[in-house]
Amino acid sequence: MRTLQAIEIAGVALRNLLLGGNVVSLALAKNPKRMLHYVSETLFLYKTFNARRGIPQKNVFDVLTAHNVEEIRLGSLQTGGTWFWSFSAFASDIVNLCLLCRLVQPRVVFEIGTLTGYTAFHFALNSPADAKIYTLDLPMNGKLAPQLKTTMVDGTHIESHLEQKRYAFQDTAEAKNITCLFGDSAAFDFSPFHNQVDLFFIDGAHSFEYVRSDTLNALACCHPGSVIVWHDFGRVGVNGVSKWILEFARTHPVYCVPGSSLAFMVVPDEI
């Protein structure tokens, strides 16, 4: 299995180099990892800049009711671990997630994929004071293996999760609003949350199988007017996020945020 995954990654890397490489990228030839990152980001920006992402691009404030000015709160600025990196898409992601909380005003938020707790912290920072944030991830003891197919990138994230010492929201006033749940999202019992969730964020395993499973569970947990958000849409690496969303969007009103890797949907009255 790992051999097949390695071959798949090599094929994707070669494709990205051929499509996204340019004269400037040759300056990074001595650092292949950085070079691949650069060309991948170039392809991502090309698609969003030219609206060639397969689904309509709309800002969240174009879909949800917004005032002329909306305030958001950002955390972890001094402790580190932010999403404000040398490439801007992740900064756009966290800003738009905060903005979604401000516009939706969720009482219940459910997240798949805790990792460092950075997004859970920002959901709590930007939701009503009595909001409940539930965040689900694999147990830290490493004894629970994923039941569905995963990608090699997911394997890296799982290893990082096992090394996680503390969450971004620990020792903050918002921690009281956040409940950590543990389990495989493909086998987790979502029934207590059915029709209860106002904002559902999917950022777990990146395989087609997991994103599909997580989406179907999100639909069961949400109600008309809820918002479902997916992370890493449009990334050109080895993941099934884009593949699933493009298929799902054939029959559902899904949008992607310009310059961001977020896709989102307001759950309609009838699905």
Same domain, 93 and 213: yes
pLDDT value at residue 236: 80
- 143 pLDDT band, cuts 50/70/90, is confident
Q: Is residue 271 part of a domain?
A: no
Among 76-90, 194-208, 237-251, top mean pLDDT goes to 194-208
Residue pair 72/126 in contact by the 8 Å Cβ criterion: yes
Q: 52, 72, 87 — which closes off a domain? A: 52
> How are beta strands 197-202 and 222-230 bridged, if at all?
parallel
pLDDT value at residue 4: 61
Residue owning tokens 């990138």: 153
Please state the pTM of the whole predicted model: 0.91
Supply 36's token pair: 């691949």
The candidate with the shortest Cα–Cα distance to 21, out of 233, 236, 206, 234, is: 236
User: pLDDT tens, 86-131?
Assistant: 889 999 999 999 999 999 999 999 999 999 999 999 999 999 999 9
Same domain, 132 and 27: no
192: burial class by Cβ within 10 Å (0-12, 13-18, 19+)? Answer: exposed
Q: Which residue has the higher pLDDT, 37 or 99?
A: 99
- 2 pLDDT band, cuts 50/70/90, is low
Q: What is the mean pLDDT of the chain?
A: 89
Could you give the CA distance from residue 184 to residue 186 in angstroms, rounded to a whole number? 5
Query: Does the pLDDT of residue 164 top 90, yes or no?
Result: no
Q: At what angle do helices 32-49 and 2-20 cross, to 10 degrees?
A: 60
* Number of domains the chain is built from: 2
What CATH number is attached to the domain comprising 156? Answer: 3.40.50.150
Reduce the DSSP state of residue 132 to 3 states and report it: strand
Q: 52, 71, 95 — which closes off a domain? A: 52
Reduce the DSSP state of residue 108 to 3 states and report it: strand
Q: 52, 68, 92 — which closes off a domain? A: 52
User: pLDDT tens, 172-186?
Assistant: 999 999 999 999 999
DSSP 158-186: HHHHHT----TTTTSGGGGGEEEEES-TT
Supply 264's token pair: 């989102």
- 57 pLDDT band, cuts 50/70/90, is very high
Same domain, 47 and 96: no
Same domain, 63 and 181: yes
Supply 165's token pair: 């010492």
pLDDT value at residue 150: 85
Query: Does the pLDDT of residue 19 top 80, yes or no?
Result: no
Same domain, 74 and 30: no
CA 128: distance to chain centroid? 22
**Where in the sequence is the domain holding 145, given as residue range(s)?**
56-266
Phi, psi of 111 (to 5 degrees): -125, 135
Q: Is residue 227 part of a domain?
A: yes
Q: Angle at Cα 93 formed by Cα 118 and Cα 229, nearest 5°? A: 90
Same domain, 62 and 141: yes
Could you give the CA distance from residue 55 to residue 57 in angstroms, rounded to a whole number? 7
Query: Does the pLDDT of residue 146 top 80, yes or no?
Result: yes
Supply 234's token pair: 């449009």
Query: Does the pLDDT of residue 70 top 90, yes or no?
Result: yes
Same domain, 184 and 109: yes
Same domain, 47 and 139: no
- 42 pLDDT band, cuts 50/70/90, is confident
pLDDT value at residue 256: 97
The candidate with the shortest Cα–Cα distance to 244, out of 218, 271, 214, 201, is: 214
Residue pair 254/264 in contact by the 8 Å Cβ criterion: yes
Q: Is residue 167 part of a domain?
A: yes
Same domain, 242 and 173: yes
pLDDT value at residue 152: 73
Same domain, 47 and 93: no
